[in-house]
Structure 1
Amino acid sequence: MTIELRHHTDLTARARRDLLDVYSDVRAPLLHLPGYGVEAFTGRLDRHAGEPGFGLVLGYDGDLPVGYVYGNTVGAGDRYWTRMAEPLPEGFTDRPVLALREIGVRSPWRGTGLARRIHDAFLGRRTEGRVTLMVNPAAGGGKVQALYESWGYRAFNGQPASDVSPRLAVMVRPR
């Protein structure tokens, strides 16, 4: 299987369409839940794409988009930090941090290392010293969080549950 990775620093119409196609497939079992529907995701995606340091990597098997990762830079005043459950360590936001917003791979390509490959390709073009992400520790019995731990992330904070989201673990690693 040969997967082509395509890097984007803006959200073109085709990249947006392909990303939404993969998201809809990856998150199909959750689309009925608040915050997971395609409309809610599209709103977040469009907001993130307009923020500083947006980047996206899409993986293609032939013409079929099969995986993605996207994120953007968050600085000291970003709303990302206001959602933390615990105060941040002194100086934590003195330098920009990369917020990995979403990563997903269609089920036939899971377990092939594609998620890690897309993740690493995304980080390979970034300049921020640290990367952070949020994960639902209850998802898949903690398998997703354990996977991120195997990639070098460690839990360091949390995000309180809301009407549309469970409590999330906030993880960080050096880039």
Structure 2
Amino acid sequence: MKKELFKEVPFGKGIAKITVTAFVEAVDLDGQLTGNSKVITTSNVEIVSGDGKLLERRASFANILTYDEGSCTLYEKFNLDTTKEYTRVGDRVLTIGGEAGRAINNAIEEMKAELLKSFGKKTDAEKQKEEAIAEAKEVVQQAQKEGIESLMTKQEIKAWRHRFNLLYNEGGEGYIPSRVSREEYEKSLAILKESGEYHE
């Protein structure tokens, strides 16, 4: 099964026509089907000028250019203003400003997320968020076991680890218990509060 979404965004005096396609592919392991499937997404960006001329048809995303070591040759080749940002699609099509590039790439990500959702799959961003929440819960639980009031800062833990190693490992390599720093706890707490997962 294949699904497609389409969107147009302004690109200078022209238009960027964006198509995102998604289809389900069976997962195989060394040629043997596993019974699982994955969703493959592809994107295509066409740039059409104001007078209807097709300028680019095979790009998959937009590059946002700022003048630096990596882009200086391109800026010199096209005699671009080094103080300005540009959007590049494909090899030759440029427009001034990064807004068009951000609009193209945002549209691609939004359409990919919508298509993945329609297949019952999660985006990479959703997976990363879930992982961050799970890790934050572990940190908060460990901090509660250690005692919130007695949490040390990163610097204090570094000194404590050094003393522990000298005392119990004679300065060599050996087991040193892990400790949650106050900074880790506060960061994890903020993640849980922001996600609505924090319960006192």
Q: Shorter chain as normaliser: what TM range?
A: under 0.3
Larger relative helix fraction: 2
Tell me the TM-score normalized by structure 1.
0.25
Pair member with larger Rg: 2
Which has the higher relative contact order, 1 or 2, with Cα contacts under 8 A spaced 6 or more apart?
Answer: 1
